[in-house]
Amino acid sequence: MDRVYLDHAATTPPDPRVVETMLPMFTRYWGNPSSISLEGQEARRALDSARKLCADLLGAQPKEIVFTSGGTEADNMAIRGAAFAQRARGRGNHVVTTQIEHHAVLNTVEQLEREGFRATYLPVDHEGFVDLGALEDAVGPETIVVSVMAANNEVGTIEPIAEVSRIAKAKNPNVVVHTDAVQAAGAIDITPAKLGVDLLSLAAHKFYGPKGVGLLYVKNRTPFQAMIFGGGQEKERRSGTENVPGIVGLATAMKLAWDEAEDRNAHAGKLRGRLLYGLPERIPDTVITGPADPASRLSNSVSCCFRNVEGESVLLALDMAGIAASSGSACTTGSLEPSHVLTAMGIDRDLAHASLRLTVGKDNTAAQIDYVLDKLPEIVARLRSLAG
């Protein structure tokens, strides 16, 4: 069996159709889109049409799209950009987010606290759903930004963003609502107008596009302050010569993801189902984490904990067996702390240390999943016997 890649939430292999549209941007249309020359104009045309495509797919206007270096930058820019602009207008200094956000959001909000803002980190229930009652209590006249992720990267929980937005804006119409849609993009409908959000982040490498490129949707007239200064690109909101090959790749990957969403979800859902039902059946003391209702979790996401084994040891053994997986978020892998997501969901620390995340993709096959269902029970049994 060749390698079985089940870590699509960490990153996805670039689709050859995406790479194909990027290559001419290196070999032929390599000009600087800000130059007046023919070379510059050609690059500008590619950039403009990529922006128009991304905007159309989001039901947005091209001027509402700001290209970034990925999800982390889009999240930083969204939260800081709105928080500082709102504070400058005298609207308050309170930011609301959740305890289960990606560190791109959590660490940004913590930094804002060091800069004099006040923050509330909303709790979630045992399936990872944000506590909407706590949101309603938290939002007040001083609240300026609410940031809740569209879907969680560790346990796949799909958050009720339209509700979040409705509740937040009913309590305070001036609140700017942001959603980190990095994991949700391509899997669920993230049209900003439907979600009722002002700001939305996504990253190309989660849906078969290149790494190091993403976008931030900024709804027209949203209070927003630039965080990167220079030549005034992206309508003064994010200076720096644009990553034209990456942006073209992002737009192609988005188009393919949107067009093929139904097929990809159906395929992923089938493979995920085999794992969600097969793992607890074959491995004693398996606890599936995240929503019990498959419709409330991302179609590609399986997360679980095995009692009495170390998650890291399982990962290493899987890797030796040719299977790429992760213990949660790629960013916290290697840290000795149990996942902040699992602990926020009330999972005890010992169990949280034994977590595994398997995220399937469009090119995985049923035979690969059967291979995993064969290997994983052996691995867990062996590690348990060593520990016991």
Ligand X SMILES: Cc1ncc(COP(=O)(O)O)c(C=O)c1O
Interface residues with ligand X (CB under 6 A)?
Answer: 70-72, 75, 102, 104, 149, 153, 180, 182-183, 203, 214
Q: Residue 279 in contact with residue 373, Cβ under 8 Å? A: yes
**Least distance (Å) from ligand X to the CB of residue 377?**
28
Q: Which is nearer to ligand X, 151 or 271 (CB)?
A: 151
Please, what is the minimum distance in Å from the beta carbon of residue 221 to ligand X?
A: 25
E strands within the chain?
A: 4-5, 65-68, 94-98, 118-122, 143-147, 176-180, 199-203, 214-218, 286-288, 301-306, 323-324, 355-359
Contacts for 20 with CB less than 8 Å, ≥ 6 apart: none
Sheet with 65-68: strands ordered across: 65-68, 214-218, 199-203, 176-180, 143-147, 94-98, 118-122
Nearer Cβ to ligand X (151/383)? 151
Amino acid letter, 313:
S
Q: Which two tokens stand for residue 172?
A: 């305070």
DSSP 217-269: EE-TT-----SS-SS-TTTTTS-S---HHHHHHHHHHHHHHHHTHHHHHHHHH
305 is catalytic: no
User: In sequence order, which residues have a C-beta less than 8 Å from that of residue 75 and are 6 or more positions away?
Assistant: 102, 104, 105, 108, 147, 178, 180, 182, 201
CB of 102 to ligand X, least distance (A): 3
75 or 234: CB nearest ligand X: 75
Q: Of 184 and 354, which has the nearer Cβ to ligand X?
A: 184
Q: SS3 of 372, please?
A: helix
Tokens of 162: 């339209």
> Do 152 and 159 meet the contact criterion of CB atoms below 8 Å apart?
yes
Nearest distance from residue 67's CB to ligand X, in Å?
A: 12
Shorter beta-carbon distance to ligand X: residue 7 or 234? 7
Smallest distance, ligand X to C-beta of residue 282, A: 28
Catalytic residues: 331
